[in-house]
């Protein structure tokens, strides 16, 4: 069955870089796109960016200067790197499978990231 | 960016009740509107895509409608597992954006 699982550090220092991994199973990264979506506590989700099935990327313009998404198809993994983290980057980070356009039909369990010294 | 406004932000309701959650876009979104459910443990589940299409496996008591800037999610008869957060999402314009959510609470 389709599964996505995020992994990465729970605590990041301000101004440091966040690195997260999304490991997928049950589908191919060359057939489906994968997005990263984050959610500050008590707020709605925010789409961050997408790794297209063909290897192209798309980013939310609000984060584009700090964000990089890449993948390793041999390991079924998609990676997120975001630099210059600040306290308002604290929240839960999810990876999702994009069914059609930007309809997210499967979500990972999420990983909580706290930005604090 | 298109702003999505959900109303109400919280809604007390009873088992068996029919409820409707509203979502208004800051500009027309041509029915490019999805709905998701989030449980207290953070699990997010898709419910409806392109305004009114039910995700496979989602009970038929869920339905969606709307056009232009105004959309709604209706649950015809609340079950215990329906008490959760609900989010709308537009994908007519990049970046796709979500509403702030509606919390459906047991009255």
pLDDT digits (tens, 9 = 90+) for B22-78: 999 999 999 999 999 999 999 999 999 999 999 999 999 999 999 999 999 999 999
Q: Tell me what pLDDT residue B2 has.
A: 97
**Other beta carbons less than 10 A from residue A8's beta carbon:** 16
Q: Tell me what pLDDT residue B23 has.
A: 98
Nearest CA in chain B to A50: B95
Q: Which of A44, A61, A104 lies nearest to residue B46, judging by beta carbons?
A: A104
CA distance B44 to chain A (A): 6
**Other beta carbons less than 10 A from residue B25's beta carbon:** 24
Nearest CA in chain A to B48: A103
As a whole number of angstroms, the distance between CA A69 and CA A59 comes to 9
Under 8 Å CB pairs connecting chains A and B tally to 55
Are the C-beta atoms of A74 and A67 separated by less than 8 Å? no
pLDDT band at A112 (very low <50, low <70, confident <90, very high): very high
What percent of chain A shows pLDDT beyond 90?
96
Instruction: Please list every residue in chain B whose beta carbon sits closer than 8 Å to the beta carbon of residue A104.
Output: 34, 36, 44, 46
Residues A6-20: what's their mean pLDDT? 97
Residues 6+ apart with CB under 8 A from A73: A28, A29, A30
Q: Tell me what pLDDT residue B27 has.
A: 98
Structure tokens at B97: 């954006």
Cβ–Cβ gap A103/B45 under 8 Å: no
Are the C-beta atoms of B11 and B106 separated by less than 8 Å? no
Instruction: Please list every residue in chain A whose beta carbon sits closer than 8 Å to the beta carbon of residue B36.
Output: 45, 104
pLDDT digits (tens, 9 = 90+) for A26-83: 999 999 999 999 999 999 999 999 999 999 999 999 999 999 999 999 999 999 999 9
Q: Tell me what pLDDT residue A102 has.
A: 86
Structure tokens at A56: 């192209």
Instruction: Please list every residue in chain A whose beta carbon sits closer than 8 Å to the beta carbon of residue B55.
Output: 105
């Amino acid at each position: 069955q389709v599964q996505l699982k995020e992994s990465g550090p729970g605590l990041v220092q301000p101004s440091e870089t966040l690195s997260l991994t999304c490991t997928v199973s049950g589908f191919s990264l060359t057939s489906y796109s994968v997005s990263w979506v984050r959610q500050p506590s008590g707020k709605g989700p925010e789409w961050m960016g997408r790794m297209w099935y063909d290897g192209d990327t798309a980013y939310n313009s609000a984060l584009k200067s700090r964000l990089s998404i890449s993948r390793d198809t041999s390991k079924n993994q998609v990676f997120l790197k975001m630099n210059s983290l600040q306290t308002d980057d604290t929240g839960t980070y999810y990876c999702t499978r994009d069914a059609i356009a930007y309809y997210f039909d499967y979500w990972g369990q999420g990983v909580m990231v706290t930005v604090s010294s | 960016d298109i702003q999505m406004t959900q109303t109400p932000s919280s809604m007390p309701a009873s088992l068996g009740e029919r409820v409707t959650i509203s979502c208004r876009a800051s500009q027309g979104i041509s029915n490019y509107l999805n709905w998701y459910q989030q449980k207290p443990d953070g699990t997010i589940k898709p419910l409806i895509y392109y305004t009114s299409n039910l995700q496979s496996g989602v009970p038929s008591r869920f339905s969606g409608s709307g056009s232009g800037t105004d959309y709604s999610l209706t649950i015809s008869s609340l079950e215990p597992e329906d008490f959760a957060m609900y989010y709308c999402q537009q994908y007519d314009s990049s970046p796709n954006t979500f509403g702030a959510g509606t919390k459906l609470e047991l009255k």
